[in-house]
Structure 1
Amino acid sequence: MFTPARKKLLLAVLVLSFGVQTGLVYSDERSEPLSAAAREGRALWQAYACQTCHQFYGQGGFLGPDLTNAASRVDSTRLISLLTVGSGQMPPLGFSDDESAAMAAFLREMDRPEIGRGELRMGTPGEGAGAQAAFERAIEAALGAGSSSDAGSGDGTDQDLAEVAAGFAAYRIRPCSACHFPFRDSPVGAPDLSLVAGSLAADSLDLVLADGRPLMGMPPPVPPLGEADRAALTAFLRFLEANREELEAATATLAAGRSLDWGALPWWEFP
């Protein structure tokens, strides 16, 4: 049993240990990896509790899409619209131009290649990529080199591939990848996009691209697809079907050997 003197000594040791630990923690040199503009965006992210619905690198809520790579797939016009008037379940936040710019800077700096992409990819964009990043790299490579198959509606000319590229761009700036997985149906029931062009008649596909399928869980595309956008996206979907085996193999190769450097993840950012 401790005597009063020993109890006082033990308490003094504990207090001293706490003081030393506090000093070490607050004297630790730490460089801020975000720019001043991005820090303003981070403050808005925290003030509006965005992590309640959205994720960064798997950390956060599940009501909205993962925003890890939002800067790569959402253009500035769409982002401003989301931050001011909202969309679907996304409430209108009424951000000013300066606030929108700060949030854009924050999202852009969180989407740096040295940190990762969506599925905690470490390394260069073409090596060790997660499935979605590898899928996009495979398509970029196929479009850059030309395709051995036609684009589904033409004869594989540069003009056809330009339309496919436009459709790919339309796909990337919308949150399609939040539900659709490369070369397989997703757990939420979203179909494999490389097969839809062959399973739907042309007019049915155009109707889906225009209005979605709300009763089956697919909302109308946001931002909406005009006639030219729908034609380009249809060409992209036909391109996926015509080159499915080649693209699937390239995606698997790019995703092979994926490794994680947990030390490179910005844990300081997760609330």
Structure 2
Amino acid sequence: MYTDSRNTPLSEEALAGRELWQGYACQTCHQLYGQGGFLGPDLTNAASRVDSTRLVSLLTVGSGQMPPLGFSDEEAAAMAAFLREMDRPEIGRGELRLGNPGEGAGAQAAFERAIEAAVAAGEGEVAAEDVAEVAAGLAAYRIRPCSACHFPFRASPVGAPDLSLVAGSLAPDSLDRVLAEGRPLKGMPPPVPPLDDADRAAIMAFLEFLGANREQLEVATQALAADRRLDWRALPWWEFP
């Protein structure tokens, strides 16, 4: 059986984060080292894969099935400290990992890698002068929790649309307004952190690139996502389904 014995005690800030974890009953939906619920993702190694901007967004405005908790900056920092100090690879990993985590695996990572490769190679329908803006749009997309609701090349179960079709279905001024204000009545909060004029222009260029090159990017994404290997013998016991 897994035990939570550890040689290094939690810091005062992490202890405050643990109080928030317990007070908000986070374990009802999330697991730490095999203990907790299954509605939300396993957070054992969240500190290794969720950047601070996205964590603050998740703890304040929520995402998908996760409700907004309205954490203050101090509370968000405490929760980040708790997750950071709980992320102990030498104790084990509580998340099922397909393929090499360093390279990224799964549909979302494959989606981003396919776009990076196409932009770097100058492939697809994009003018040379627009390459930098498309890359900036991908970067702006990445640091926000867009992928929590939007799935590559299909609508998500929570109703978020396929982003590769958005530029063709919304007029530029309507798309710019959505990027600035969100669509709260349809479940999309305003972007966090907010997008300034340059960010919105870059994301619009990125979405236009997705739409114009949808077919080849989807094929490349599927090929990258298919290249996943799993050695069951290397997994700690709590990672088995």
After the TM superposition, which residues 136-151 of structure 1 pair with which residues of structure 2 at under 5 Å, given as runs? Answer: 136-150=112-126
Secondary structure of 2:74's partner?
A: coil
Question: Which residue is equivalent to 2:78?
Answer: 99
Contact 1:143 1:161 (C-alpha < 8 Å) held by counterparts: yes
Q: Which has the larger radius of gyration?
A: 1
Q: In the alignment, is residue 170 of structure 1 matched against residue 140 of structure 2?
A: yes
After the TM superposition, which residues 64-79 of structure 1 pair with which residues of structure 2 at under 5 Å, given as runs? Answer: 72=49, 74=51, 76=52, 79=55
Question: Which residue is equivalent to 2:167?
Answer: 197
Query: 1:162–1:56: structure 2 CA closer, same or farther, 3 Å change rule?
Result: farther
- Equivalent residue in structure 1 for 2:155, among 164, 185, 196: 185
- Provide the rounded CA distance (Å) in 2 between the counterparts of 1:170 and 1:33: 39
After the TM superposition, which residues 20-39 of structure 1 pair with which residues of structure 2 at under 5 Å, given as runs? Answer: none
Contact 2:164 2:214 (C-alpha < 8 Å) held by counterparts: yes
| CA displacement 1:183-215 (0-9 Å, x = unmatched) | 011112111001101111000000111111112
Secondary structure of 2:156's partner?
A: coil
Question: Which residue is equivalent to 1:251?
Answer: 221
- Where do 5+ consecutive residues of structure 2 fail to align? 63-67
Question: Which residue is equivalent to 1:123?
Answer: 100
Query: 1:90–1:200: structure 2 CA closer, same or farther, 3 Å change rule?
Result: same
Task: Note the C-alpha offset of 1:259.
Answer: 3.7
Task: Note the C-alpha offset of 1:257.
Answer: 4.3
- Where do 5+ consecutive residues of structure 1 fail to align? 1-24
Query: 1:147–1:201: structure 2 CA closer, same or farther, 3 Å change rule?
Result: same
TM-score under structure 2 length normalisation? 0.72
| CA displacement 1:74-123 (0-9 Å, x = unmatched) | 3x35645766xx3351232563697366246348x579xx9698x74232
Contact 2:31 2:38 (C-alpha < 8 Å) held by counterparts: yes
Query: 1:32–1:204: structure 2 CA closer, same or farther, 3 Å change rule?
Result: same
Question: Which residue is equivalent to 2:128?
Answer: 156
Higher relative contact order (CA 8 A, sep 6+): 2
Task: Note the C-alpha offset of 1:256.
Answer: 0.9
Query: 1:181–1:79: structure 2 CA closer, same or farther, 3 Å change rule?
Result: closer
Task: Note the C-alpha offset of 1:130.
Answer: 1.1
- Provide the rounded CA distance (Å) in 1 between the counterparts of 2:9 and 2:224: 32
CA RMSD, aligned part only?
4.1
Question: Which residue is equivalent to 2:204?
Answer: 234
Secondary structure of 1:95's partner?
A: helix
Count matched residues: 226
How high is the sequence identity, in percent, across the aligned residues? 57
Query: 1:35–1:175: structure 2 CA closer, same or farther, 3 Å change rule?
Result: farther
Query: 1:53–1:229: structure 2 CA closer, same or farther, 3 Å change rule?
Result: farther
Question: Which residue is equivalent to 2:235?
Answer: 264
Does 89-98 or 50-59 show the bigger shift?
A: 50-59
TM-score under structure 1 length normalisation? 0.65
Contact 2:47 2:80 (C-alpha < 8 Å) held by counterparts: no
Query: 1:251–1:266: structure 2 CA closer, same or farther, 3 Å change rule?
Result: farther
Question: Which residue is equivalent to 1:135?
Answer: 111
- Provide the rounded CA distance (Å) in 2 between the counterparts of 1:35 and 1:170: 37
Contact 2:46 2:83 (C-alpha < 8 Å) held by counterparts: no
